[in-house]
Chain A
Amino acid sequence: MNFIGNIMYDSIYHATPILLCVLGGIFAYKANVLNIALEGMMLTGAFTSLLISYFTGSIVLGYLGAIIICILVGILFSIMTVTYKGNVIVVGLAINMLVPAIAGFVLQFMKSPNITLQWKNIADFKIMIPLIHDIPIIGKIVSGHTPITYAAFVGIFLIWVLMYKTKFGIYVRVVGENEDAARNLGLNTNKYRYLAIMLGAFCCSLAGINLALERMALFTNNMTAGRGFIAIAAIYCGQGDPVSSALYAIVFGVARALAVNMGLYAGPAAALFDVIPYVVMGIVLTMVSVLKYRNNKLRGIIK
């Protein structure tokens, strides 16, 4: 029972950064901008939150600084892709490569392989929900997570409302589906693209803060390890719908939790279990694609 409880707790724990990236990427996906810079933005959040907390000694400044810098990266991405019409994939890749390079540069300059906050006890970040925590099994699973973890799960609902129940969401979807129609309506299409990308950057910064600051108070380079790409896979699987994309994100979180917990008993082969999330992602993506195109008789490549 303890083993299963651990897996369920870890599922929530590991799903959070992926979930936040998914929520961030959905709007850009709907606005027809493929944001593969999610990975780089998440790493920016992780890096800057730790760096700022390290130098200022304040966790709150770390949170705020990381969010602001991530949004700046989002604005950079938007300027390059929306205003100057650069190739989205190339710009995304450039950001994905630039961020770890800058982080590596700074780490090398500080002559340290990582940034840690020794004065911070990470247990302080965990919220024990008063009543629920005392319920035998469920309490241990649901309670004791960090603030951003809870925010992420509330975020599914918020993003759903934002996408389907507000003007903003409808406009973003119109811009993505039919840009000419949106222009004829008098919408400033670039504005909605900018906002969609910046919202994504905000969510990614939270994912990064969760990953580095809240969980471990530690930053090592490339600690995001492809979570941003897994998030893109989840968005593809859920076709940009907040609820189903979020469900796929949780599936990938469960896969990682299984991998980590089973790896504990595997001894030297533990490294092989780390492969599970990536393989699960490939299989799920293929299955969704097969189902989607099952009755499609068109020839050639379908975009």
Chain B
Amino acid sequence: MKKVLMEGAIPPEKIGKSIANHQVKTHIGAHQIFLGQVRADVIDGKTVEAIEYTAQEQLAEETFHTIREDAFAKYDLSCMHISHSLGRVAAGQICLSVFVSSAHRDQCTEACSYLVERIKKEVPIFGKEIFEDQTHTWKENK
């Protein structure tokens, strides 16, 4: 099973490297990339400076695996790479990366959106929003 969770923010270089790695796969005609970035939300006058992610890690990895398999069955995809952060990710940094490739754009565009929606809804990941004064609140996906 491909591991999705990684410690800390997703470095922009990792995404650049992914693009480079696909240049030998010339049957691919389209990539769709979704990047989730930590937003400095202002809640009751306090600004979020980071989100600290935790997860029920085993169930999270198994759920990512199921979602991946479902997307491969539903869409005609060449490859798929998903990463999600654990631990502290500062505002402005990347916490989720979904990279989907296919021969034609319609398949990867739809698959990417499908993946992001399912990840947000179904994967047991929890986010503690830490304010600049080091108090916190808990993020909930709507």
Are A and B a genuine interacting pair, yes or no?
A: no
Chain B residues within CB distance 8 Å of chain A = none
